[in-house]
Amino acid sequence: MYGLSIILKQLLKEKSAFRGRVSGSMKQTGSRDPNTPSSATPSGVRAGMRKIELREWWLWSSAVLVTLLLTLGIVSFVFPMVHPGGGDLRFPDLSYAARGLVGLVLLFDLYTVYQQLQIHRMSRRLIEGEELFRLITENAADLIAVVDAEGHRLYNSPAYQRVLGYSPEELRLTSSLEQIHPDDRALVQEAAKGALTTGVGRRIEYRMRHKDGSWCALESTASTILDSDGKVEKLVIVNRDITGRRRLEQQFHQAQKMEAVGRLSGGVAHDFNNLLGVIIGYGEILEEGVQKDDPLRDSVDEILRAGKQAAGLTRQLLAFSRQQVLEAKVLDLNVVITEVEKMLRRLIGEDIELTAVLQPGLGRVKADQGQIEQVILNMAVNARDAMPQGGKLSLETANAEIDEAFAQSSPYPVQTGPYVCLTVTDTGVGMDAATQAQIFEPFFTTKEKGKGTGLGLSMVYGVVKQSGGYINVYSEPGVGTTFKVYLPSVPETIAPEQPRANLSTSLRGTETVLLVEDEDGLRNLTRNLLERSGYTVLVAKDGKDALQTSQQYKPTIHLLLTDVVMPGMSGPLLAQQLTQQRPEIRTVYMSGYTGKTVAGHAVLEPGSFFLMKPFTRDGLASKIREALGSVLAAATK
């Protein structure tokens, strides 16, 4: 942009110099007022130059005619004087002077022709310069303006109309500051004053109003044109539309903020989950040893109740931070909505009318069904709370295609392609722009104290993002709110449901379990719970220790119960190596925080088993029996 301003500055200098040499002729030919935008009359300059050429050719022709007549007159005058008797032609000394005069006149004619050719070449150069100037200004994407020392517009390039919508006439009738944002006018005036004082322009950014009322962000660079006295006569201003760049920067900053908050919340949830696991586990052991009529039984029950509530909060934090393990499978979103519709009607109450518009032939998505159901429930609860006096709630599905235009308008970076869109609309109180900017942040809520955790929509955001999708919100105060969830459409078909093995009536067992957990407190608790359920338990603090234990233990190890993220070796890698040694072994992953995710994708492979931390005694025993029961089911086929 700076190089373009230098070229324009040089062209203006050359044009001003040449116009100074032909200013008299331009005035006689009725050229335009210098304050008139030249972009409107590029052909007028060429027409004026043609008039100059015609006038000069006419003067030259007249001069030639006059000199020829003068020559004939001299010859007619000298000839009788030299030959009064009409005899033989003899030229005295005077005839040489006459010949010299004739030669001089002919030389003058030749010189006149030469000068006219030079003028013709100069005019051609000016026309070429005008053409080059026109090509640059009319085809440049940047907005180019020329203003005088008082700030009056002398020229505006056609890009002003393409970018801002204003015609040259509309710009000419307004001041140079009228379309600038009120908050930015002082900055622009200061930059212009500095350029006029120092002769050096600087780069600034400001906002300028589009003809439709919106604001465009511009990056501006000014160059100065000096007069013969060295004073600033004009400013050449080159503006670049950076509205799209600003939007991308905002998207990047928003994504960075959400990522930073997600990492923080995920780290807190991870550590807290391990502590909760210990609290809940030993609370259940205490519960076994305390009779129902014991005075301490209520205290134990409250400990367990508080621990389970805290576990629910950490799960929502993990969902927001996109650090939970998803059991993804191909889904029909219409079927998911149909299955949760009855629950939704009970959840939102009778004073809210629920409608579902499901598009036939809807594309398939790949996601965790339980998490998608939770997304729908959370958005429905949020809509219910926004309609305390009742209203309407609608769920709508449709196939959608995200193109470049949509991607550029989105507040978050998005990928183009086919998607399945879930639209949730309510007729509630709506939200202003400030609320919408924070609505997906954890612990942000507009509800009264004690009536909301601020994690419902943050959980929705995390699940949607972890599933490869996007979520947008559209709302106005007093009008209502619309959430649009976009999930990538996949070409895969829905796999038939695999029958689960029946759990034994008892959750106890006698099999051998290899327990791998790096947290000492949780490892001791889990070992205690498994041994109370009848299992033989081998313990290891990490993957390397587990492989050594497996090599030293010769009898059958029926099941590997391993944490997902451990120092040195991850749970999935340990399972892979251990399965090569013991093909019959079954694996149950346990984690409350996946870190770098299971198998690098935060999604379990089909047939895997996963136990979410913090877990209860019955939850642990049930998952162990489920995994060991799959061995029996496979053996009986």
Looking up residue 178, the CATH number of its domain turns out to be 3.30.450.20
Is 501 within 8 Å of 612 (Cβ atoms)?
Answer: no
* pLDDT value for 632: 45
- Give a yes or no: residue 82 inside a domain: yes
Condensed to tens digits (0 to 9), the pLDDT of residues 258-302 reads 666 666 666 666 677 778 888 888 888 888 888 888 888 888 888
> Which residues on neighbouring strands pair with residue 398, listed in sequence order?
421
**pLDDT band with cut points at 50, 70 and 90 for residue 564:** confident
How far is the first Cα of the chain from the last one, in angstroms, to the nearest whole number?
74
* pLDDT value for 266: 61
521 and 478, same structural domain?
no
- Give a yes or no: residue 504 inside a domain: no
Check pLDDT > 70 for residue 227: yes
- Give a yes or no: residue 499 inside a domain: no
* pLDDT value for 8: 45
Last residue of a domain, one of 320, 343, 367: 320
Provide the pairing of β-strand 352-357 with 391-402. Answer: parallel
Is 237 within 8 Å of 203 (Cβ atoms)?
Answer: no
Domain span including residue 358: 329-490
Does residue 565 or residue 17 have the better pLDDT? 565
User: Rounded distance, CA 205 to CA 219, Å?
Assistant: 4
Last residue of a domain, one of 89, 104, 138: 138
336 and 426, same structural domain?
yes
Strand boundaries in 328-479, DSSP class E: 329-331, 352-357, 364-367, 391-402, 417-426, 470-476
CATH code of 273's domain: 1.10.287.130
* pLDDT value for 55: 62
- Give a yes or no: residue 497 inside a domain: no
190 and 122, same structural domain?
no
531 and 472, same structural domain?
no
Q: Which of 275, 296, 274, 272 is nearest to 286 (CA)?
A: 296
* CA 573, chain centre distance (Å): 36
* The pair of three-digit structure tokens given for residue 259, joined into one six-digit string: 């990522």
Mean local confidence (pLDDT), 186-214: 87
- Give a yes or no: residue 506 inside a domain: no
Which ranges of 22-153 would DSSP assign to H, the alpha helix?
Answer: 23-28, 42-82, 93-139
Q: What is the DSSP-derived secondary structure letter of residue 1?
A: -
User: Rounded distance, CA 203 to CA 219, Å?
Assistant: 7
Strand boundaries in 157-293, DSSP class E: 204-209, 215-226, 232-241
469 and 360, same structural domain?
yes
* pLDDT value for 539: 94
Phi-psi region of 165 (alpha: psi -120 to 50; beta: other; left: phi over 0): left
- Give a yes or no: residue 496 inside a domain: no
* pLDDT value for 255: 64
The model scores a pTM over 0.75: no
Contacts 24+ apart (CB under 8 A), 599-607: 599/572, 602/322, 602/323, 602/324, 602/325, 602/326, 602/466, 603/325, 603/326, 603/327, 603/328, 604/325, 604/326, 604/327, 604/328, 606/329
- Give a yes or no: residue 501 inside a domain: no
Mean local confidence (pLDDT), 516-521: 89
Mean pLDDT estimate for the chain? 77
Condensed to tens digits (0 to 9), the pLDDT of residues 317-329 reads 665 544 455 567 8
Lowest mean pLDDT among 110-114, 258-262, 284-288, 624-628: 258-262
339 and 470, same structural domain?
yes
Does residue 398 or residue 370 have the better pLDDT? 398
- Give a yes or no: residue 267 inside a domain: yes
CATH code of 614's domain: 3.40.50.2300
609 and 562, same structural domain?
yes
144 and 133, same structural domain?
no
**pLDDT band with cut points at 50, 70 and 90 for residue 606:** low
**pLDDT band with cut points at 50, 70 and 90 for residue 423:** very high
144 and 134, same structural domain?
no
Number of domain units in the chain: 5
Check pLDDT > 50 for residue 6: no
Q: Which of 160, 140, 200, 201 is nearest to 37 (CA)?
A: 160
Last residue of a domain, one of 138, 166, 185: 138
CATH code of 451's domain: 3.30.565.10
Lowest mean pLDDT among 206-220, 223-237, 240-254: 240-254
Mean local confidence (pLDDT), 114-126: 76
Half-sphere exposure of 574 (CA within 13 A, CB side): 32
* pLDDT value for 460: 83
Lowest mean pLDDT among 186-190, 217-221, 483-487, 610-614: 610-614
User: Which residue matches tokens 């000014």?
Assistant: 222
User: Rounded distance, CA 71 to CA 582, Å?
Assistant: 123
49 and 176, same structural domain?
no
225 and 309, same structural domain?
no
In angstroms, what is the C-alpha Rg of the chain? 43
Q: Which of 422, 421, 454 is nearest to 440 (CA)?
A: 454
* pLDDT value for 49: 62
Contacts 24+ apart (CB under 8 A), 216-219: 216/163, 216/164, 216/241, 216/243, 217/241, 217/242, 217/243, 217/245, 217/246, 218/143, 218/242, 219/1
* pLDDT value for 14: 45
582 and 530, same structural domain?
yes
Q: Which of 314, 320, 346 is nearest to 263 (CA)?
A: 320
> Which residues on neighbouring strands pair with residue 399, listed in sequence order?
420
Q: What is the DSSP-derived secondary structure letter of residue 450?
A: T
* pLDDT value for 138: 76
Quickly count: other Cβ atoms within 10 Å of residue 476's Cβ: 13
Mean local confidence (pLDDT), 240-266: 71
* pLDDT value for 553: 93
